[in-house]
A and B are shown apart, each in its own frame.
Chain A
Amino acid sequence: MTDAATPTSRDNWPLWEVFVRAKRGLSHVHSGSLHAPDAEMALRNARDLYTRRQEGVSIWVIRSEDITASSPDERDSFFDPAGDKVYRHASFYEVPEDVEYL
């Protein structure tokens, strides 16, 4: 792990995850990943790889190893309990007639 943090040759450039925001008001969305020796170059590589067809106005890059992800093994305990709790959806309210935008 520590080796990957020190890019001494092109073979161990760390992996970066790229998030692109398509336009103002939207959120950054994961676009893909790439290799780069450091954050500045990762940003530039992301510009060249993921925004060459005007896909974005803002880019985030983050080292893949800095992302903590949920594990597929924990899927049952993580996500299944939400399955039978339909009351968490905001679909049980009666909307008063004079509320226009909801």
Chain B
Amino acid sequence: MTDPTTSTATEAAPTATTATEAAPTATTERTLLRSQGPPSAPNGGHTPYLLGLADDALIYAQRLGEWLTRAPQIEEDMALGNVGLDLLGQARSLLTRAGELEGAGRDEDDLAYLRDEREFRNVHLVEQPRGDFGEEMARMLWFSSYQHELYTALLDSTDEVLAAIAAKAVKEVAYHRDHAGQWVVRLGDGTEVSHERMQAGLEAVAPYVAELGDDDRASVAAAEAGVGILPSSLVEGTVAHVQAVVAQATLSMPDEPRWRSRGGREGVHSETMGYLLAEMQHIHRSHPGAKW
């Protein structure tokens, strides 16, 4: 699994050097990348960026799985389960790609089940415990709106594998965004109680939203290389979509929260994350290498 990546990378290296005019830039770039990843894989520098994308999807899939048997209707159990499975699929592809670029022989399972809390790079929004249904729809609206902007931008990634993952994922998240939007509108513009609770849901997730737009080091490096996109450039589109839904739902955008989450992309998580990982990882860790 490591061989194809490594060999392509080594073949690509001399080509870059023969392009003499570009030499200074190329060298700096290579040094920069090397300092972040194993020297055997020049692209390994983008592993942290891919892990950020993958972990967002993986951890939110885990949270959504908790809704099975707990949604308002069995139909909604299925809907949330489907969304979770879409995200799990995205996480698998992204983790696999991250492992390839890292070149250390780690596959999707190693990355999902054998990393510890500080190595996970997801934002705090997706790890928060399950609230009521309105809160979940608020979270899904924000997250899927962000993901829609993200994957649309990644269609142009210089990493062809990432571009292909984005092409598949963008259709999936368009549906997630629609699903959340449908519910936010119905609950917001529903009864007095549903309106109140939907507004409370928006308030509850508000402190976690800004983190989606933070330009962490890995994102900056990936954006400079054309592999990724600056999270801050996705904010405008994300907010615009959420605002439109919120307005249609006769709700209001929450005021600037008094505090905001940060640090997820650097592996600093909230208390709940350890419990989530324990549940997600313990089977794999208790039975290493077990197969169906």
Contacts and interface: CB of A to CB of B under 8 A. Distances in A.
Contact of A48 (B72, B78, B186): B78
Interface residues of B, number: 13
Given A8-B191, A40-B182, A41-B182, A48 B73 contact: no
B26 interface: no
Contact of B75 (A34, A38, A40): A34
A35 B73 contact: yes
A37 interface: yes
Contacts of B78: 45, 48-49, 52
A31 to B, nearest CB: 14
B75 A10 contact: no
A49 B79 CA distance: 8
Contact of A52 (B75, B76, B82): B82
B63 interface: no
B106 interface: no
Q: Which of B73, B75, B76, B191 gathers most chain A CB within 10 Å?
A: B75
A44 interface: yes
Given A10-B72, A44-B179, A49-B75, A37 B82 contact: no
Given A10-B72, A35-B73, A41 B186 contact: yes
Contact of B82 (A8, A13, A35, A48): A48
Nearest to B78: A48
A17 to B, nearest CB: 14
Interface string A50-71: 0010000000000000000000
Contacts of B182: 40-41, 44
A20 interface: no
Given A8-B191, A41-B182, A36 B72 contact: no
A45 B82 contact: no
Interface in B58-82: 72-76, 78-79, 82
A63 to B, nearest CB: 15
Contacts of A52: 78, 82
A14 to B, nearest CB: 12
Interface string B119-147: 00000000000000000000000000000
Given A41-B182, A48-B82, A52-B82, A35 B75 contact: yes
Q: Which 3 A-B pairs have the closest CB atoms?
A: A45-B75, A48-B79, A10-B72
28 contacts: A8-B191, A10-B72, A10-B73, A13-B73, A34-B75, A35-B73, A35-B74, A36-B75, A37-B186, A38-B186, A40-B182, A41-B182, A41-B186, A44-B79, A44-B178, A44-B179, A44-B182, A45-B76, A45-B78, A45-B79, A48-B75, A48-B78, A48-B79, A48-B82, A49-B75, A49-B78, A52-B78, A52-B82
